[in-house]
Amino acid sequence: MSAGLPRRRFLAGLGTLAGAAALAACSDAAPGSAPPPPGGPGAPGPPAPTTTTTPAAPAYTGEAALLALGAAVSGLAGDLLGQAAAGAGQGRYGAVPAVVSSYLSGAASQHVAHAEAWNRLLVAAGRPAVVGGPLTVEPGLQQRLDAALAPVDLLGLAADVTATAAATLTAIVGGLTAPAAVTLAAGAAPVAAMHGATAGFLLGRPPTAPADPTAGALGTDALTV
Amino acid sequence: MTASAPADVPILQTASSLVELTADTYASLQALPFGGGSSALAPVRDLLASGVEALGRARTDLAAATRAAGGRVQTAPDPKYAPVVEQALPTVRGPGDVVGLALTLEDVLAQTLVRDVADLSVPEVRRTVAGHAGDSARRKALLLTLQALLATGRAELAAVPPDLLALPPAAGTVGFPDVLFPTEKASPADEGAVR
């Protein structure tokens, strides 16, 4: 992340959920100290365990992982587009046309709203909310934003990020079973697609309708939490 | 494709009827000089061409899903909106009318497909329909943007590529007015069912 960009400001909407996340994380904590050995405190205990490094269990499994994926991809899109909008306002990318700034801010706020909605479902299911966009693709996309020099770079990044969000949300529709989650995916995916269409128009690209609408979708294995 | 429940049949048939009507209307609009002809604005012409292609895929996918669910494929246009289109087509006089008519149909189609995603029983079919809802939503976004630009009276703003410095700021957001895609205009599941 570049200095001077208030990246986390765009996650402020998620801040109220952070407390809930912390509480939920506590409830997920491993059990406390092991029970005393059989025969009482003075009895010989079991052999000392071999010291090994055990990978941490994923915080999200099953359908919760799909909810977390929805939150993460929406959070990442909201974060990146929000950073781009802030950088444009600070003159980082030269003279940015007002229509581009308007696009970035508007799309960012809707992705953040989607992330909040996914997190509400996670918290209601007793799972921690996702903060930010903890995905394997996040560092590469962040580097791309950091390297952006002009408005066209921002729009190109927006077109790609929103395409990933739309494909991912479309793909997870098939894996979700809870009606509220299916309805959220059904309502959010087309909006992400509309963001992509608008970015494409501003870039002068011809309209597209991908033959495979889930091409480029992220799976739950892309989650880093 | 996994077989759908019989209850899915009217849902899929109604979706097919809207796709049929929208595809037929796009073809009619393409035949107009200012729709797909030589005097058409490039983004309008491109959108109609892309729409015809995508709607053809939707027609094929919905037919396959209908057959898999044990139903007859709906090949007739939606009975509620077909008369509306029939009445409107002769009144189309320019790109603004093309965009307006296409937008009316795309909005109903997209809203219906979004609602269908929640109502369908088979995950694979849900995912397929969600993909077509996304395509329709993309076209709606572009139509909303073009409509706003044409409403300024400066058709040159609807260019490929657009002059970003000349575009009004609102053109950046007019294409996505809702945080979640609405469904209040969705057609009832039996509206286009085969009788």
Q: Does B138 touch chain A (CB under 8 A)?
A: yes
Q: For residue A209, name the pLDDT band (cuts at 50, 70, 90).
A: confident
The three state secondary structure string of A23-65 is HHHHHCCCCCCCCCCCCCCCCCCCCCCCCCCCCCCCCCCCHHH
Q: Could you tell me the CATH number of the domain that includes residue A117?
A: 1.20.1260.10
pTM of the entire predicted model:
0.87
A163 in any annotated domain: yes
Say which of B53, B114, B164 has its CB closest to residue A202. B164
Decide which of 3.40.50.1370, 3.40.50.620, 1.10.3720.10, 1.20.1260.10 is the CATH code for B8-172: 1.20.1260.10
**b (16+ CB within 10 A) / e for B82-115:** bebbeebeeebebbbbbbbbbbbbbbbbbbbbbb
* pLDDT tens per residue, range B75-115: 999 999 999 999 999 999 999 999 999 999 999 999 999 99
A116 in any annotated domain: yes
Q: Does B165 touch chain A (CB under 8 A)?
A: yes
A104 in any annotated domain: yes
A28 in any annotated domain: no
* pLDDT tens per residue, range A134-167: 999 999 999 999 999 999 999 999 999 999 999 9
Query: What are the structure tokens assigned to A89, written together?
Result: 């306002």
A36 in any annotated domain: no
Which residues of chain B does A207 touch, with a Cβ-Cβ cutoff of 8 Å? 43, 46-47, 50-51, 138-139, 142
A31 in any annotated domain: no
Report the domain count for chain A. 1
Q: For residue A59, name the pLDDT band (cuts at 50, 70, 90).
A: confident
Low-confidence ranges of chain B (pLDDT < 50): none
Smallest Cα distance from A145 to chain B, Å? 20
Which sequence spans correspond to the domains of chain B? 8-172
A2 in any annotated domain: no
Q: Is the ipTM, as predicted for this complex, more than 0.90?
A: yes
pLDDT score at B171: 98
Find the domain containing A123 and state its range.
61-222
Which residues of chain A does B118 touch, with a Cβ-Cβ cutoff of 8 Å? 179, 182-183, 186
